[in-house]
Structure 1
Amino acid sequence: MSAIPQERRLVTAVPGPKSQELQSRRTASVAGGVGSVLPVFAAKADGGIVEDVDGNRFIDFGSGIAVTTVGASAEAVVRRASAQLADFTHTCFMVTPYEGYVAVAEALAELTPGDHAKKSALFNSGAEAVENAVKIARSYTKRQAVVVFDHGYHGRTNLTMALTSKNMPYKHGFGPFAPEVYRVPVAYGYRWPTGPDNCGPEAAEQAIDHIAKQIGAENVAAIIIEPVLGEGGFIEPAKGFLPAIAQYAKDNGIVFVADEIQSGFCRTGQWFACEDEGIVPDLITTAKGIAGGLPLSAVTGRAEIMDAAHGGGLGGTYGGNPVACAGALGAIETMKELDLNARAKRIEAVMKPRLAAMQEKFEAIGDVRGRGAMLAVELVKDRTTKEPDPQATAKVAKACHEAGLLVLTTGTYSNVVRFLPPLVIGEDLLNDGLDVLEEAFAAL
């Protein structure tokens, strides 16, 4: 039973007067570099609805960027986190440990791909997880180079900005960046010169050739890739690409890291997106959907790799905070009880045919892609040239927002509308949101 009526409702213009008042206070006190998609201030959120301070209710197709997978106030998350809050908020696991951290590590060992012995280290954010995966891989291999991919996104710290491919807004003016980072092609089927059917093997061959010639496999500590590239535009690497890269890593003693921060925890209809082609990564980084909205991240992987770092070399004051760990156990409980993998597949079954029908109807939609509840449409000015259309993308998003549908844009060319609804969203809300989206395209 949801705490908020699960229906779209607009009672003021967007943003309403209370949000505008808060926006004035924000402008005076919050750094300008911190942006927001929609200048409405949330008061409540549950199920598939975000309610603002003016009483407007928005259908949530964003989940706080894939975070509130189980909903923004899931009962098990609230119950477990509240109980932990009453016991203690912090001791620092590096000072006096507690069971919740261990229980999360045990759950990750159970859920992540592969039946090998696994261990985990917990942190606060996705960027921290990726950065620590690099530290662990370098410690294990005694090598320095890190290979990443075109259109990849891995965070906003100095090292993870270097790993990220998109300049604006993530890197512009913030250099110099960490060295020994190398970027190679990815299998972006929609934009591959010889077409999607050839993309997987051709892109893998190109990427491996780049590594061999420009870096030398014997110098590479880690290859890091998102099994579905998030900020780059919800790009699913063409079939065969990921297995070829993973095999190359294995053959050359390179640590293969799956960055599942946006795609993990049931989002694509599997616990982790890399399972789609049977990939078993050496290390897997998780965050976002892991803890129902509380800040937590993890690196999980082969025990012998995870143990390579010296004692005291991994950690952080807040890493694996007890309240966040309790939230994670509640989120995982919810995912299992409600079979959210099946719910993600059902969301795809509802949304993808309707998005495909819109593609038939509206020339602006060049591509429809994604899996589970991680779906996207790419907008172009011309389907033949595939020239990106970021202006139309911004117009569609704005029209959706004004009509009470919260959508996010993404992509290296800022021309992708992405859909990340909470997996607990009702189908009536899904369809209502798709109606709003269709109206926004019709108004272009």
Structure 2
Amino acid sequence: MSTTADAIRSADAHSAHTYHPLPVVVASAEGAWMTDVEGRRYLDMLAGYSALNFGHGNRRLIDAARSQLERVTLTSRAFHHDRFADFCTELADLCGKEMVLPMNTGAEAVETAVKTARKWGYEVKGVPDGHAKIVVAADNFHGRTTTIISFSTDHDARDHFGPYTPGFEIVPYGDLTALSHAVTENTVAVLLEPIQGEAGVLVPPAGYLSGVRELTRERNVLFMADEIQSGLGRTGKTFACEHEGVVPDVYILGKALGGGVVPVSAVVADRDVLGVFRPGQHGSTFGGNPLACAVALEVVAMLRSGEFQQRATELGDHLHHELGLLVGGGSVTAVRGRGLWAGVDIAPGHGTGREVSERLMDRRVLVKDTHGSTIRLAPPLVISKEDLDWGLDQLRAVLAS
């Protein structure tokens, strides 16, 4: 067995440096806990950016995957397989929609949504070919493909990767007036995160999402909600849009849809939107594969119980109450979020978000920093209250030091 130092040295030598991970090397995990190569246990307070909403090694998901592994794992979409129709039917029903277009990663799903909106704009709305515009929000994070970074305001993700894909209008997040001014007769969609995760778990002003829904309906524009991080139980609802009673035209899903077992993503909408596609116009060799469908079907079944949404609500209320007590004490300047999801702004003088994350790692708690002074907390929804409190105790100790 290699040591932590050996494993990190090898990774640094032989992999492209696209991430700056904390210096921990995980060897196994269960529930809300991970164990490194030297046997040290850590409380996971990130959950794979919400990909692990149901915890590490969730027995229902592992059993579903194992059962499917022994039958068939891939056919490609050249043939039907016996899990595909059930997956599409159940996910569409969970979303209150009619059709599903399955992909693999979240970025693929966003790319698919962009193509969907443009095709809908040309063939249904009547926008002149090549003139479609999609309005997006500043500080967004929808992935890192070439098209997606073209409408990113994150310099690390965007700079020196041009030329960039045209067709996007960027407006301030949470600003309905700016959004209204940006929508023209050639606008085919508004693409938003109901809560901006990478930006620091930013919750928009009350009424913003419902205002977006009203505006897009009035202007004959698709409202596309990127619920890749915020959806599937994380905020206490199946979808974060539900907190304002909003149903978008298009759901973009990923991360937790695969339960942390396999990559699964999807675009979900009604027939008048996804029905614009014809054979050969879009696809994926692995999208909607039998293994992915088997796991995602179990995810949908677990969400139907409401258990995980309820846990996220109750434990989230506790999390935000405890974090709120830190604000104004000199160590934390602000806390944002909803459900079991929080962005914590560290006060100057108490270290950067990276430094606080490293000190928490030393106390066996794993979180991730963003935007310099912010740490994100997003534990698996299966975390116990006792473990959550222990993790918060470690945060208090780090800030007190």
State the TM-score, normalizing by the size of structure 1. Answer: 0.85
**What residue in structure 1 maps to residue 169 of structure 2?**
182
Distance 1:287 1:349 in 2: 25
Match of residue 426, structure 1, among 358, 376, 384: 384
**What residue in structure 1 maps to residue 15 of structure 2?**
30
The one-letter code of the counterpart of 1:323 is: L
| Alpha-carbon spacing, 1:227–1:24, altered in 2? closer, same or farther (3 Å) | same
Match of residue 98, structure 2, among 107, 110, 118: 118
**Which string of whole-angstrom CA distances, capped at 9 and with x for unpartnered residues, describes residues 219-260 of structure 1?**
111110000111111111101111112211111111110000
Query: Is this contact kept in 2: 1:260–1:272, CA < 8 A?
Result: yes
**Which string of whole-angstrom CA distances, capped at 9 and with x for unpartnered residues, describes residues 136-193 of structure 1?**
111111141111001111111111112332122x223222221111100112xxxxxx
Match of residue 335, structure 2, among 359, 365, 368: 368
**What residue in structure 1 maps to residue 134 of structure 2?**
146
Distance 2:303 2:4 in 1: 33
- Equivalent pairs, count: 392
**Which string of whole-angstrom CA distances, capped at 9 and with x for unpartnered residues, describes residues 316-358 of structure 1?**
1111222122111222333345710001012212211110111
Which residues in structure 2 correspond to 1:219-368 (within 5 Å)?
Answer: 219-293=186-260, 294-337=262-305, 339-361=307-329, 363-368=330-335
Query: Is the aligned partner of 1:205 residue 2:165?
Result: no
| Alpha-carbon spacing, 1:289–1:38, altered in 2? closer, same or farther (3 Å) | same
Distance 1:24 1:366 in 2: 36
**What residue in structure 1 maps to residue 87 of structure 2?**
104
Distance 2:82 2:395 in 1: 45
Structure 2's unaligned 5+ residue stretches are none
Question: SS at 1:72's partner residue?
Answer: coil
**What residue in structure 1 maps to residue 368 of structure 2?**
408
The one-letter code of the counterpart of 1:260 is: E
The one-letter code of the counterpart of 1:318 is: F
Query: Is the aligned partner of 1:442 residue 2:393?
Result: no
CA displacement at 1:102 relative to structure 2: 2.0
Question: SS at 1:218's partner residue?
Answer: coil
Distance 1:105 1:414 in 2: 40
| Alpha-carbon spacing, 1:338–1:258, altered in 2? closer, same or farther (3 Å) | closer
Query: Is this contact kept in 2: 1:408–1:419, CA < 8 A?
Result: yes
The one-letter code of the counterpart of 2:229 is: Q
Query: Is this contact kept in 1: 2:110–2:226, CA < 8 A?
Result: yes
Query: Is this contact kept in 2: 1:390–1:414, CA < 8 A?
Result: no
Distance 1:269 1:61 in 2: 17
Distance 2:160 2:397 in 1: 38
Match of residue 135, structure 1, among 98, 115, 119: 115
Distance 2:237 2:155 in 1: 31
| Alpha-carbon spacing, 1:161–1:278, altered in 2? closer, same or farther (3 Å) | same
Question: SS at 1:222's partner residue?
Answer: strand
CA displacement at 1:73 relative to structure 2: 0.6
| Alpha-carbon spacing, 1:32–1:20, altered in 2? closer, same or farther (3 Å) | same
**Which string of whole-angstrom CA distances, capped at 9 and with x for unpartnered residues, describes residues 204-230 of structure 1?**
112212x14xxxx21111110000111
The one-letter code of the counterpart of 1:185 is: P
Structure 1's unaligned 5+ residue stretches are 1-15, 188-202, 382-388
**What residue in structure 2 maps to residue 95 of structure 1?**
78
The one-letter code of the counterpart of 2:317 is: A
| Alpha-carbon spacing, 1:256–1:392, altered in 2? closer, same or farther (3 Å) | same
| Alpha-carbon spacing, 1:17–1:423, altered in 2? closer, same or farther (3 Å) | same
Match of residue 48, structure 1, among 13, 32, 35: 32
CA displacement at 1:419 relative to structure 2: 0.8
The one-letter code of the counterpart of 1:184 is: V
Point out 4+ residue stretches in structure 1 off by more than 6 angstroms: none
Question: SS at 1:228's partner residue?
Answer: coil
The one-letter code of the counterpart of 2:86 is: A
**What residue in structure 2 maps to residue 193 of structure 1?**
none
Match of residue 58, structure 1, among 33, 42, 62: 42
Distance 2:347 2:85 in 1: 48
Query: Is this contact kept in 2: 1:366–1:380, CA < 8 A?
Result: yes
**What residue in structure 2 maps to residue 12 of structure 1?**
none
The one-letter code of the counterpart of 2:87 is: V
Query: Is this contact kept in 1: 2:43–2:391, CA < 8 A?
Result: yes
Distance 2:336 2:358 in 1: 21
> What percent identity do the matched residue pairs reach?
31
Query: Is this contact kept in 1: 2:44–2:365, CA < 8 A?
Result: yes
Query: Is the aligned partner of 1:21 residue 2:9?
Result: no
Question: SS at 1:27's partner residue?
Answer: helix
Distance 2:176 2:82 in 1: 43
